[in-house]
């Protein structure tokens, strides 16, 4: 860096200004349907040698910072993932993260070597770094696309789990370990690291939950720190025994995030904020690492062709092969193929060969950078349209009912805020006719800025906001019942299974 060690004030000024602009850019990127990472990357480029003149070429430091940031992002992903929603799709998610990644690496490497003329080492690295999807990129776009749980669960599981095997593969190829151990040995190492990392993550999660339930910490603010520390403890232990730290941190955080721990809401909010900060710092740093002067028409051409191989051949084939363990309709598989956004993960993984001094790694870094930007811009904004064309959008939520939830930690319950839209058939239904599961109840109706304590005969209207309290174990049943009534009105009580199928 060109900052003087003693010029802390300037560093703080620039850092705080960049962070604030990056936070405000989230709204802009959401409206445009683009992952915010693109704006952060461009901010880094603008701050770099071709903009404000900040020079950053330390690949080893970038590698260390990148991996730390990815660990934070994965921890937040695990803490905020609902296991009940992911469970039905976990087989496909795991298959995409392992078999799918292997298939994609093979196809991209073959295309890069025989069609683009890259040496085998660079071709395999290109396939390895571009095959995993990026959770931050995927879900920053999917927030605006209502999908069935089986699709979001598959994409979420894939994004959380596929970093681990690719990190091992890229490291082995970049350090020459792949030649030393051979193909079977390489698969053995990857298998060991994944299995050991998963086991350590489970131990950190369940063991940490046991400790947290019995620890009476003096401040609620200590609980989020403790939970994140437990997740990173799994990462550290895994690294010490040469297992996958990424698998450990994600699995550990997934377990901790789905346990009934004190101050869960505060923990998730804190983790989300830290993850945003990690994303901002990571993407801006990666933008600084790029030298725009190195980008040539040849670089752009190779990036476009490699992206076509990945997007139109490798990704669809890998999804098709992975779906053997959990078949889905072709239109849903097609959407999963198109929704495989790469984000920052390929660029972070490219810091490994850069740090290891692999020949021509800087050129490959530029190719990957350009490829990520072009195809994220191409695929990200089109996801809502593709979802509608393929008819995979979930119809119930945007059609008649919006539901938001907030946890009530002390009684293991959730508070649902339900908005009755102008097209909902809940209009005219009495509160007593909702017939919510036993234990759930409508505690308040907000109508035209006035609050009503409802009775059984209170009639609901378009535009009403309902506050519904439900035990956490009954939340899914409560939401499903509300959507049935929103879709079918009073008749929902006689529709049974036919009413439920409309919410899938």
Number of domains, the chain:
2
User: In terms of domains, do 404 and 358 share one?
Assistant: no
Check pLDDT > 70 for residue 394: no
Q: What share of the chain is helix, strand, coil (3-state, %, to 5)?
A: 70, 5, 25
Residues 57 and 179 in one domain: yes
Does residue 13 sit in the same domain as residue 56? yes
Q: What percent of the chain has pLDDT over 90?
A: 15
Distance CA 149, CA 383 (A): 16
146-161 pLDDT tens trace: 777 778 888 888 888 8
pLDDT score for 358: 85
241, part of any domain: yes
Q: Is residue 145 included in any domain, yes or no?
A: yes
Residue 165 confidence class, pLDDT cut points 50, 70, 90? confident
User: Alpha-carbon distance 62 to 81, whole Å?
Assistant: 28
Whether 97 and 162 have beta carbons less than 8 Å apart is answered as yes
292 pLDDT band, cuts 50/70/90, is confident
Domain-ending residue, one of 361, 389, 417: 389
pLDDT digits (tens, 9 = 90+) for 6-65: 566 666 777 787 778 777 766 666 555 556 677 777 777 777 766 676 777 777 888 888
* Domain identity same for 197 and 81: yes
On the 0-12 / 13-18 / 19+ scale of CB atoms within 10 A, 410 is: exposed
Map residue 24 onto helix, strand or coil.
helix
3-state SS class at 52: coil
Q: State yes or no: pLDDT of 1 exceeds 50.
A: no
Residues 422 and 295 in one domain: no
Residue 226: helix, strand or coil by DSSP? helix
Q: Which residues contact 378 (CB under 8 A, 6 or more apart)?
A: none
Question: Quick one: tokens of 479?
Answer: 């939401």
Cα distance between the two ends of the chain: 52
Same domain, 364 and 457: no
* Residue 260 confidence (pLDDT) above 90: no
Looking at residue 499, its pLDDT comes to: 40
Are 347 and 437 part of one and the same domain?
A: no
d(CA 151, CA 178): 34
- Residue 3 placed within a domain: no
Distances (CA, A) of 289 to 54, 293, 301: 10, 12, 21
Interatomic CA distance for residues 56 and 285, integer angstroms: 8
Which of 415 and 1 is assigned the larger pLDDT? 415
Residues 6+ apart with CB under 8 A from 225: 270
What's the pLDDT score for residue 3?
45
Answer yes or no: do 128 and 104 share one domain.
yes
State whether 303 and 424 are in the same domain: no
Instruction: Confirm whether 137 is domain-assigned.
Output: yes
Q: What is the mean pLDDT of residues 375-387?
A: 81
- Shared-domain flag, residues 100 and 200: yes
Sheet with 413-420, edge to edge strand ranges: 401-408, 413-420, 465-471, 441-447, 450-452
Where is the domain boundary, 367, 389, 411? Answer: 389
CATH of the domain at 139: 1.20.1530.20
Report yes or no: 171 and 92 within 8 Å, Cβ to Cβ: no
Q: Answer yes or no: is 290 within a domain.
A: yes
Give yes or no: residues 332 and 474 share one domain: no
Least confident of 54-63, 81-90, 368-377, 382-391: 54-63
Lowest mean pLDDT among 136-145, 202-211, 334-343, 491-500: 491-500
Domain boundary among 356, 389, 422: 389
CATH of the domain at 419: 3.30.70.1450
Residue 2 lies in a domain: no
Q: What pLDDT score was predicted for residue 494?
A: 52
- Which residues form the domain of 420? 396-501
Res 397 pLDDT > 60: no
Q: Is 1 within a domain?
A: no
List pLDDT tens digits, range 178-192.
Answer: 667 777 777 888 888
Q: Are residues 384 and 403 in the same domain?
A: no
Residue 315: pLDDT band by 50, 70, 90 thresholds?
A: very high
Does pLDDT of 501 surpass 60?
no
215 found inside a domain:
yes
């Amino acid at each position: 860096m060109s900052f003087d060690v003693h010029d802390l004030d300037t560093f703080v000024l620039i850092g705080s200004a960049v962070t604030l602009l990056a936070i405000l850019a989230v709204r802009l990127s959401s409206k445009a349907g683009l992952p915010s990472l693109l704006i952060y990357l461009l901010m880094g480029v603008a701050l770099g040698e071709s903009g404000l003149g900040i020079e950053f070429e330390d690949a080893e430091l970038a590698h260390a910072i990148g991996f730390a940031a990815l660990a934070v992002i994965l921890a937040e992903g695990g803490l905020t993932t609902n296991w009940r929603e992911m469970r039905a799709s976990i087989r496909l998610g795991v298959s995409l993260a392992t078999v799918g990644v292997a298939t994609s690496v093979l196809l991209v490497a073959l295309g890069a070597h025989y069609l683009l003329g890259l040496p085998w080492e660079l071709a395999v690295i290109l396939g390895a770094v571009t095959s995993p999807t990026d959770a931050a990129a995927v879900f920053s776009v999917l927030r605006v696309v209502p999908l069935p749980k089986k699709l979001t669960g598959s994409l979420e599981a894939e994004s959380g789990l596929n970093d681990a095997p690719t990190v091992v593969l890229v490291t082995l190829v970049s350090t020459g370990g792949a030649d030393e151990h051979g193909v079977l040995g390489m698969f053995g190492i990857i298998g060991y690291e994944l299995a050991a990392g998963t086991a350590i993550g489970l131990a950190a999660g369940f063991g940490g939950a046991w400790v947290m339930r019995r620890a009476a910490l003096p401040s609620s603010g200590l609980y989020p720190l403790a939970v994140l520390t437990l997740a990173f403890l799994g990462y550290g232990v895994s690294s010490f025994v040469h297992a996958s730290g990424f698998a450990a941190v994600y699995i550990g955080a997934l377990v901790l995030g789905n346990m009934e721990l004190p101050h869960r809401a505060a923990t998730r909010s804190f983790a989300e904020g830290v993850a945003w900060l990690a994303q901002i710092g990571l993407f801006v740093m990666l933008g600084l690492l790029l030298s725009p002067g190195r980008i040539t028409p040849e670089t752009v051409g190779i990036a476009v062709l490699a992206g076509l191989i990945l997007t139109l051949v490798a990704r669809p084939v890998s999804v098709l092969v992975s779906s053997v363990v959990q078949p889905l309709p072709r239109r849903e598989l097609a959407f999963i193929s198109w929704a495989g956004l790469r984000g920052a993960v390929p660029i972070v993984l490219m810091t490994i060969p850069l740090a290891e001094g692999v020949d021509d790694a800087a050129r490959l870094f530029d190719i990957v950078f350009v490829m990520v930007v072009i195809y994220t811009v191409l695929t990200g904004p089109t996801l809502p349209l593709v979802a509608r064309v393929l008819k995979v959008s979930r119809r119930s939520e945007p059609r008649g009912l919006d539901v938001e939830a907030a946890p009530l930690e002390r009684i293991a319950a959730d508070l649902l805020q339900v908005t009755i839209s102008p097209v909902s058939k809940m209009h005219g239904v009495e509160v007593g006719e909702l017939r919510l599961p036993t234990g759930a109840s409508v505690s308040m109706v907000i109508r035209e800025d006035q609050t009503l304590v409802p009775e059984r005969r209170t009639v609901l209207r378009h535009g009403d906001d309902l506050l519904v309290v439900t035990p956490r174990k009954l939340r899914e049943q409560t939401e499903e019942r509300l959507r049935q009534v929103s879709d079918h009105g009073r008749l929902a009580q006689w529709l049974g299974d036919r009413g439920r199928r409309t919410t899938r």
